[in-house]
Structure 1
Amino acid sequence: MASISDLDQITKAAAGDRGAQAALVNRHMDMIFRVAYRMLGDQAEAEDVTQETFLRAWKILPDWQPKAKFSTWACTVALNLCRDRLRKKRPILMDTPPERVDMALRPDERLASAQAIMGIEAHIAALPERQKEALTLSALEGLGNKQAAEVMDITVHALESLLGRARRTLRAALMEQESKD
């Protein structure tokens, strides 16, 4: 069965088709949640941002003008909601690392791997907000530079500059941490 495009789903969802609405949520929810979680470092906050993003989507669907992909628009909304929340409070570090630990590892190797992930996540969380956004969208979510730049409302050149600074900062922090260990 061929995949139905976002534009077809948007048209049906705008007309009240619950199945089309569910399909849009299923297609884009994971990415929106991951972006929000990486920006906010809090699962409950990320869930709230994800829900708010889709609530806003349902309100605008009847007037949707496909100037950008739905995923780009949704990421932009989620990122703006994250920015609003971050302005209201200080950034916090993630409580737990993402669940990407290789279960084939011995327990001591899993612990070391989890600690390494926590260290990297802490360094990412400490980046300036715009660098963290660029890194999250491009490197962690796999958006192309053009789409990530659209989400952030900047040029591709500016995005690449933010990515370069973020990577240099992370590299320096990790090298410093390694020399201490």
Structure 2
Amino acid sequence: MKKQISVMALAVCLAHPAYALEMAGVNLPEKVSVAETPLVLNGAGIRKKMVFDVYVAALYTAAKSNDANAIINAATPRRIQLDMLRNVESAALYNALLEGLQDNLSAAQLKALAPKVAELEKIFTEIKVANKGDVIVLDFLPGKGVKVLVRGQVAGMVAGDAIASAMLSIWLGKSPVSESLKAALLKA
């Protein structure tokens, strides 16, 4: 009987992913897999805009690090997961991403990435709205670019390592969307 209970307990534990953190009602797994590479939760925080909680952001990396530049330029997959805490129109979400890019890139870098930024805009235009409870995943894939998943479905892919690094700079760059969020993502 004890052996049977132990096997059942093990089966229950294996059926549910291990959560590293609960934040604003969002359970964040301690590990994920991106492009067959295991990643660990590096850190997580809440993006606030004025007095509103907008999303829980979680950063997953191959190894924990508090070095933003090393993460931005890593030659391994990385993930930013955004769990929406309120409804946000896709245009507002895209404009926030664009503003983050503008704050962290030179005019020449932005000009060079203009076609990639246009692809990103198209992806977010097709999303229409990110509702409370939706999950937006940005997988940064070295040698490939950024895969965008919304509600568990691939919404698009923007090719290139430069756009991947640029997008990571939105949260981890010299002028992040929020210094406190950047610190939380680099909590390693």
Query: TM-score surpassing 0.5?
Result: no
Q: Report the structure number with the largest CA radius of gyration.
A: 1
| Structure that is richer in strand per residue | 2
Structure-1-length-normalised TM-score:
0.29
| Structure that is richer in helix per residue | 1
Structure-2-length-normalised TM-score:
0.28
